[in-house]
Amino acid sequence: MSIERDNTPANQREWTEQRLEQEMRKHIVDYGGFMPKLTSPSTHGMPDRLVLLPNNIHFFVEAKRWGRSASAHQFRNLGMLLRLGHHAYFIDNLPDFEAVLIGAKTGKWERSSYRAPPGAGYARFYEDLLARGVDV
């Protein structure tokens, strides 16, 4: 199950995951933040990136090519991060990432629920979790 998304420019639909991460990194630097790549040899399926912004704002990002789905391990681990109270997103386009950044910087996201700023990839992630029967 996925949400109809018409805010993705056509040229971004051909971007590789690496290109999307490069563009996301530019936005993070503009916000005065840092986005290290995460590696977890003992835990398969952890998010690709940890976004660190000023004022103790942080969230996890799993970048995907446009329209691609995540693996079962990735769904499980992002679900675990959400249950622990962290923000975690599947992002497959720049407009969704910008919406997440705006929500993070303005405090418009809800830390204790499964909601996200309008247009964020998080809504698609939550619907995908429900469709897969993952207990959140």
pLDDT digits (tens, 9 = 90+) for 7-41: 567 677 778 889 999 999 999 999 899 999 998 88
- Residue with the bigger pLDDT between 31 and 6: it is 31
Measured distance CA(102)–CA(96) in Å, rounded:
10
Q: Where are the alpha helices (DSSP H) in 1-136?
A: 17-30, 72-83, 94-106, 121-132
Q: What is the pLDDT averaged over residues 76-90?
A: 85
| This prediction's pTM | 0.74
Among 49-53, 58-62, 114-118, which stretch is predicted with the lowest mean pLDDT? 114-118
Q: CB-based contacts of 124: which residues, under 8 Å, 6+ apart?
A: 2, 3, 5, 90
Mean pLDDT of 63-83: 82
Domains (range + CATH), the chain: 10-132 (3.40.1350.10)
Residue 93: CA atoms inside 13 Å, Cβ hemisphere, count?
20
